[in-house]
């Protein structure tokens, strides 16, 4: 099994290019099947989640042509099956975006019901409520969600919770419903705006994405388009936290600094120096930082997907920080792994009390999920001695060439398959 082996202690220094946003890509790739003309998508992150979604898209008969690692063309004119099976949903929950896309286009779709996952129970009641409000009959049979309608008709839908997934899924279905839909209490994340912009580039009529009221006028058909995905806010934030944790100096390039504001403002509170330009942010933290308190919230609040990475940095500050997780109920599992590295973190319910230590110590740890996995890698890079991180398939779901980018910043990290390769790395590094 692949694992990372890391020798910590080097400040990470240099520039790193940030790829396209994974969570925008998942919505956009699914939405691409709604047109019968060819859609070209650029700046697509070449990560496992997008690879699996592209397989799901091929499995229903859409044509998928890879132009290069980060560019793909999709043509949905020949779709034969409207059923996405359990295998895809188990690998990647966001395959459920094909439910909204296919329901909008064909008024019919079947997708396996996603279960819970490592970070919480993750219900999808708001997705189903939205589809039903548009006139679909939605049933759950033998683990499959079946949605069908004679006609989809625009509706006024008020989400009970702010949800990224339901906002995107219902927005896609409403794009091809008859008449006007209003989504209230919609999520405002940058990737929602990106999916809406992409749909509009195909001829949809969506206004207000990025605010909590989205207005959609349904259209009969969507045309082809060429579209470049926005930069990944979370990948950028991960490297920014790595700069602080390793007392380094990293410039994240090809980013939209506005999308990073909740992260930059916290790093500033911690005492890091930040320089922003049009499409880059430099984070310098040559000294030990100060504690601060963080609460995860929907955008523009601090992202839950950045909670583990910033906690790693807070764990090395000169005092106690309080981190409150308000989006997912089970997102502190990795704290037990971090404890192996000598951290001083106590979790009570959805709150972590993080008392800074002077240094992590290398240990064998296991990635419990995508973002926590990346966070443990950062801890390893900041730690004294060697760390191994197992189950890195989680990290590969969402970070393209993570180890290569970290190495280009001076990180001593290698992906290895067995003990022999790990020993070789140790001999090389010394
Ligand atoms: C998306 C992101 C994920 C991120 C999360 C929050 C993708 C592919 N994934 O996940 O990386 O961590 O947003 O920013 O974009 N909820 C309900 N009912 C529903 C749907 C959600 O109660 O029908 C709850 C969830 O349990 C959670 C909260 O709403 O407590 C937010 O979830 P949501 O925004 O939907 O997250 P995802 O779209 O699954």
- CA distances for 236 relative to 266, 388, 408, angstroms: 14, 23, 15
Q: Is the peptide bond before 207 cis (omega within 30 degrees of 0)?
A: no
Does 402 or 143 have the greater pLDDT score? 402
The pLDDT of 260-282, averaged and rounded, is: 98
Sign of CA dihedral 249, 254, 256, 262: negative
Asked if residue 251 has pLDDT above 70, the reply is yes
Of ligand 1's listed atoms, the one at least distance from the Cα of 191 is: 15
Of ligand 1's listed atoms, the one at least distance from the Cα of 129 is: 23
* pLDDT tens, residue by residue, 104-119: 999 999 999 886 567 7
Give the separation between CA 159 and CA 130, rounded to whole angstroms. 8
Of ligand 1's listed atoms, the one at least distance from the Cα of 161 is: 29
Q: Annotated catalytic, 317?
A: no
Q: How many CB atoms lie within 10 A of CB 354?
A: 29
Tokens at 194, concatenated: 């990106």
What's the gap in Å between 120 CA and the centre of ligand 1?
A: 10
Give the DSSP H/E element, type plus range, for residue 64: strand 63-68
Sheet of 320-324, strands arranged across: 294-295, 320-324, 351-355, 344-348
* Percent of the chain predicted with pLDDT > 90: 92
What's the gap in Å between 161 CA and the centre of ligand 1?
A: 9
- CA distances for 166 relative to 26, 161, 253, angstroms: 13, 10, 31
CB 31 within 8 A of CB 199: yes
* pLDDT tens, residue by residue, 140-179: 998 899 999 999 999 999 999 999 999 999 999 999 999 9
What's the gap in Å between 166 CA and the centre of ligand 1?
A: 8
Q: Which of 105-119, 267-281, 293-307 comes out lowest in average pLDDT?
A: 105-119
Contacts of 329 (CB under 8 A, 6+ apart): 120, 121, 350
Q: Which of 12-16, 211-215, 425-429 comes out lowest in average pLDDT?
A: 425-429
Question: Is 230 strand, coil or helix?
Answer: coil
The pLDDT of 256-283, averaged and rounded, is: 98
User: Facing residues of 143 across strands?
Assistant: none
- Residue 219 DSSP symbol: -
Question: Is 206 strand, coil or helix?
Answer: strand
- Residue 35 DSSP symbol: -
Asked if residue 121 has pLDDT above 80, the reply is no
Give the separation between CA 157 and CA 214, rounded to whole angstroms. 10
CB 407 within 8 A of CB 413: yes
In this structure, the residues whose C-beta lies within 6 A of any atom of ligand 1 are 23, 26, 94, 120, 122-127, 161, 163-166, 187, 303-305, 327-328
């Amino acid at each position: 099994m692949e694992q990372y082996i890391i020798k910590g202690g080097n400040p990470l220094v240099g520039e790193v290019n940030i790829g396209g946003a994974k969570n925008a890509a998942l919505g956009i790739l699914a939405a691409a099947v709604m047109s019968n003309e060819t859609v070209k998508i650029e700046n697509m992150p070449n990560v496992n989640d997008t690879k699996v979604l592209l397989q799901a898209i091929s499995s229903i008969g859409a044509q998928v042509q890879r132009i290069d690692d980060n560019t793909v063309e999709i043509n949905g004119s020949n779709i034969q099956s409207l059923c996405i099976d359990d295998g895809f949903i188990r690998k990647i929950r966001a395959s459920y975006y094909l439910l909204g896309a296919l329901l909008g286009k064909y008024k019919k779709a079947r997708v396996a019901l996603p279960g819970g996952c490592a970070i919480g129970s993750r219900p999808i009641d708001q997705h189903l409520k939205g589809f039903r409000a548009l006139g679909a009959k939605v049933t759950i049979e033998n683990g499959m969600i079946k949605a069908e309608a004679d006609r989809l008709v625009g509706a006024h839908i008020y989400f009970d919770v702010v949800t990224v997934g339901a906002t995107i899924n219902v927005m896609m279905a409403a794009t091809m419903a008859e008449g006007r839909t209003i989504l209230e209490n919609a999520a405002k994340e940058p990737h929602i705006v990106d999916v809406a912009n992409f749909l509009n580039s195909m001829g949809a009529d969506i206004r207000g994405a990025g605010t909590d009221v989205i207005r959609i006028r349904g259209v009969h058909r969507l045309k082809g388009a060429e579209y470049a995905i926005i930069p990944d806010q979370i990948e950028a934030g991960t490297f920014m936290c790595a700069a602080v944790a390793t007392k380094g100096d990293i410039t994240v390039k090809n980013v939209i600094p506005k999308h990073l504001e909740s992260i930059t403002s916290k790093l500033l509170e911690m005492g890091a120096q930040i320089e922003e330009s049009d499409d880059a942010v430099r984070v310098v933290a040559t000294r030990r930082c100060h504690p601060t308190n963080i609460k995860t919230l929907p955008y523009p609040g601090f992202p839950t997907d950045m909670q583990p990475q910033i906690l790693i940095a807070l764990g090395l500050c000169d005092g106690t920080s309080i981190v409150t997780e308000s989006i997912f109920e089970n997102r502190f599992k990795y704290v037990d792994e971090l404890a192996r590295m000598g951290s001083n973190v106590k979790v009570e319910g959805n709150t972590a009390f993080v008392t800074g230590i002077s240094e992590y110590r290398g240990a064998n740890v296991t990635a419990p999920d995508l973002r926590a996995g990346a966070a443990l890698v950062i801890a390893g890079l900041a730690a004294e001695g060697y760390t191994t991180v197992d189950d890195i398939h989680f990290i590969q779901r969402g970070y393209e060439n993570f180890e290569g980018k970290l190495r280009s910043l001076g990180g001593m990290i290698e992906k290895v398959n067995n003990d022999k390769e790990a020993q070789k790395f140790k001999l090389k590094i010394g």
